[in-house]
Amino acid sequence: MAKVVITNRIPREGVEMLEAEHDVTMWDSEDCISREKCLHMITGADAILTLLTEKVDDEFLDAAGDQLKVVANVAVGFNNIDVAACEKHGVVATNTPKVLTETTADTAFGLMLMVTRRFGEGERVIRSKTPWQWGMFYMLGMGLQGKTIGIVGAGQIGIAMARRAKAFGMDVVYTDAREMDPAVAKEPAARRVDMDELLATADVVSLHCPLIPEGQEGSTFHLIDADALEKMKKTAYVVNSARGPIIDEAALVEALENGEIAGAGLDVFENEPAVHEGLLERDDVVLLPHLGSATVETRTAMAELAARNALAVLAGRSPETPVTK
Ligand code: DGY
């Protein structure tokens, strides 16, 4: 029996799969475990299941010990994991792609609808008991049909967002190192463009790329900075369901204040869970508390996939979804 540690509460289905074969200890709380307690708890573990709130670096891997074989992240994003450090320690790192694609694209699409049609603002009017009346020009938003969405990062979630956008009559442009799957890119055509063209033409810029830290090749840290925001149309919106630090939040607040763009829909934040004060009072911004993959079905599927990955490595097999740099 191997020692498996889970650093935060995850759905029972995943835990039970691990318990059927191994000795499992879970930090059974929805509050994040402190670093100190975490480093203590993982000591001697053969497999560790982590959430995106857990920083997996040299300190973490050293604390676990040389017997550690696998870190299975219960998230598709793995910017919390130092993959090079894992390789150095001979530890396999895995993530949970595919199972959360549609749910996260739903969140991104919901944000886009909410901000362009001013649904968040409208809801606040009712809840705050602000007087209102139907009016021909009352709270008009931007319709999506015939507009252009600019998808930054045409991986699985970007493609799922493109599919939704097409169904709503939008034109799709995208940036990615690779061409989009031809089956998705045709009818109506999704056009691959460079970032400058995307920023200049999109009515909604939707972010679906991974967060690649500053200083690393292909870094996406502050990809949407003051310069990028200035290149966008004054009538355009930015939607972020990927990772907060892809947007320079201070620059975003300034761009909104100066009317350089029309609004933003954000599910993720630069210093999560803190949110830039300048965003909180703005009606042209929709804010969600990182709900991208938050459905019962998806979180269960994520826990099960992470469990399968850990079990595979412990049994000497290849995991289904190792992280790839
Ligand atoms: C992920 O899996 O990376 C998501 O952000 C979690 O919701």
Average pLDDT over residues 80-85: 96
Which of 76, 96, 209 to mutate to test ligand 1, by most ligand atoms within 8 A of the CB atom?
76
Same domain? For 226 and 309 the reply is no
157 lines ligand 1 (CB under 6 A): no
Q: By 3-state DSSP, what share of the chain in percent is helix, strand and coil, each rounded to 5?
A: 35, 15, 45
pLDDT attached to residue 125: 97
Cβ atoms of residues 246 and 224 within 8 Å: yes
Question: Are both 239 and 178 inside the same structural domain?
Answer: yes
Decide if 18 contacts 39 (C-beta within 8 A).
no
Average pLDDT over the chain reads 96
Check whether residue 157 and residue 81 sit in a common domain.
no
Q: Which residues are catalytic, by number? A: 243, 272, 290
> CA 77 from chain center: how many Å?
6
Residue appearing with tokens 């074989």: 69
Edge-to-edge order in the sheet of strand 70-73: 23-26, 3-6, 47-50, 70-73, 92-94
User: Phi and psi (nearest 5°) for 192?
Assistant: -85, 125
Whether 35 shows a pLDDT value over 90: the answer reads yes
- Asked if residue 91 and residue 122 are part of one domain, the reply reads no
The answer to whether the beta carbons of residues 197 and 173 sit under 8 Å apart is yes
- Do residue 116 and residue 215 come from a single domain? yes
Task: Please tell me which residue, 182 or 106, carries the higher pLDDT value.
Answer: 106
Condensed to tens digits (0 to 9), the pLDDT of residues 274-298 reads 999 999 999 999 999 999 999 999 9
Residue 217: domain span = 101-287
Please enumerate in sequence order all residues whose Cβ is within 8 A of that of 182, keeping only pairs 6 or more positions apart, or say none: none
In ligand 1, the atom with minimum distance to the C-alpha of 96 is 2
Same domain, 147 and 56: no
49 lines ligand 1 (CB under 6 A): no
Q: pLDDT digits over 293-323, tens only?
A: 999 999 999 999 999 999 999 999 999 999 9
Predicted TM-score (pTM) of this structure: 0.95
Instruction: Provide the CATH number for the domain around residue 307.
Output: 3.40.50.720
For 5, list phi and psi in degrees, rounded to 5: -115, 135
* pLDDT tens by residue, 194-239: 999 999 999 999 999 999 999 989 999 999 999 999 999 999 999 9
Scan for tokens 């799922």, then name that residue.
160
Mutate to test the pocket of ligand 1, among 53, 96, 100 (most ligand atoms within 8 A of CB): 100
User: Is residue 38 located within the same domain as residue 105?
Assistant: no
C-alpha of residue 108 to centroid of ligand 1, in Å: 12
Answer whether 292 contacts ligand 1 (Cβ < 6 A): yes
Number of domains making up the chain:
2
